[in-house]
Amino acid sequence: MSAFTCRACGSSRVPLILSLGRTPLANALLSADDLSIEEDTYPLDLVFCEDCTLVQITETVPPERLFSDYAYFSSFSDTMLEHARGIVGRLVRERGLGPNSLAVEIASNDGYLLQYYVQAGVAVLGIEPAANIARTAEEKGVRTVVDFFGEPLASRLRAEGVRADVLHANNVMAHVPDLPGFARGLHAILAERGRAVIEVPYVRDLIDKREFDTIYHEHLSYFSLTAMHRLFARHGLSVVDVERLPIHGGSLRVTVAHAGEPISAAVEQLLAEEERDGLTRLEFYTRFAKAVEDLRHSLTALLADLRAKNQRIAAYGAAAKGSTLLNFCAIGTDVLEFVVDRSPHKQGKYMPGVRLPIAAPSKLMEARPDYVLLLTWNFAEEILAQQAPFRDLGGRFIVPIPDVRVV
């Protein structure tokens, strides 16, 4: 770890904030055949850059090992589709986009977002590394390049004349190993007056709401506005607007333009707030380690107490965050009977590390556990509503984050 340098600025002043130990890859679900094999594990250590303020993990798992995870992202929740439709409608109006404009999305998946530009008559270009998912997008009329976004692809697209009037990158920057290359790529394909709209989980929400389970190997960086502002400023770009969003437990939506474009008051305000509240200093983050330890203790104590009373417990949501939480808290088959998940790709498989079997949500009504640990707490409202019939029969949910509560 001594050799680790900041992914954004190259500094070697990167003290440790929190270690979650060695864990398997959070999205690497196991098939029944895999259960006889020991899984690979990797250190999960969170550090803070004292020069540019970026919070990041030290381990970079090679992308080809993570690549298969994309298969699970193809089914979007209703909440996320509504979110995508909303931002597209707003940008089409605000930026006056039409048939001569171009909307680009990095990690465009199955075209879940760009489809709304197609409907509005705006030309689109998706960039998506997974060929099978890109094919689904093409079937919806979303033109898609199968590749990873970075400086090499951006230069090639620029040479072909691609200039993005709007460019979206939702939940992609956290996964980028080469942040300077990403910024240079953005600079290359953003039109002169273009706007890049970038959504990232906000490190402030991660810390304030104790969302430690969003730390896993796919997420290399955890951004503050200060860290993004400094990164883009080094590459001829400028953060011109910012909003805080409730999605994914709390996100930042940052608008980036070429340097010299007018900057909204919201940017100056949030930068000042981060400085005032200590997000630019190490102490803000080291307090978090203690809060995470307290949360682990309250959750495992509650579950042990329920088990001692012969209560039967299952879990909901075989997502990566669930894997982090279960492995860090060592909650396995002695406590939970099974996990349910809506994705048919996950059903019949097993959670990494703790090796809990994954079933369809209908299993809750069949097996009737007394309690369900809600691992996908970021969709709590939607899931609790869907599970009304189960709850009407007395089934209760345990929401673990930010504080353990039973509903």
* Residues of this chain that bind Zn ion (CB under 5 A): 6, 8-9, 11, 49, 51-52, 54
Measured between alpha carbons, how far is 274 from 202 in angstroms, rounded to an integer? 12
Residue 6 Cβ, how far from Zn ion at the closest point, in Å?
3
Residue 292 Cβ, how far from Zn ion at the closest point, in Å?
23
Residue 359 Cβ, how far from Zn ion at the closest point, in Å?
43
| Cβ-based nearer residue to Zn ion, 104 or 231 | 231
Residue 56 Cβ, how far from Zn ion at the closest point, in Å?
8
| Cβ-based nearer residue to Zn ion, 230 or 248 | 230
| Cβ-based nearer residue to Zn ion, 175 or 342 | 175
| Cβ-based nearer residue to Zn ion, 25 or 52 | 52
Given a contact cutoff of 8 angstroms between Cβ atoms, the answer to whether 138 and 144 are in contact is yes
Measured between alpha carbons, how far is 56 from 49 in angstroms, rounded to an integer? 8
194 contact partners, CB below 8 Å, separation of at least 6:
163, 164, 165, 166, 167, 257, 258
| Cβ-based nearer residue to Zn ion, 9 or 20 | 9
Residue 226 Cβ, how far from Zn ion at the closest point, in Å?
11
Helix (H) or strand (E) run with residue 372 in it: strand 371-374
Residue 222 Cβ, how far from Zn ion at the closest point, in Å?
13
| Cβ-based nearer residue to Zn ion, 49 or 207 | 49
Which has the closest alpha carbon to 247: 70, 45, 86, 36? 86
Token representation of residue 373: 């640990």
The radius of gyration of the chain's CA atoms, rounded to the nearest angstrom, is 21
Distance set, CA 37 to CA 13, 33, 40 (Å): 38, 8, 9
Measured between alpha carbons, how far is 196 from 165 in angstroms, rounded to an integer? 8
Measured between alpha carbons, how far is 407 from 393 in angstroms, rounded to an integer? 13
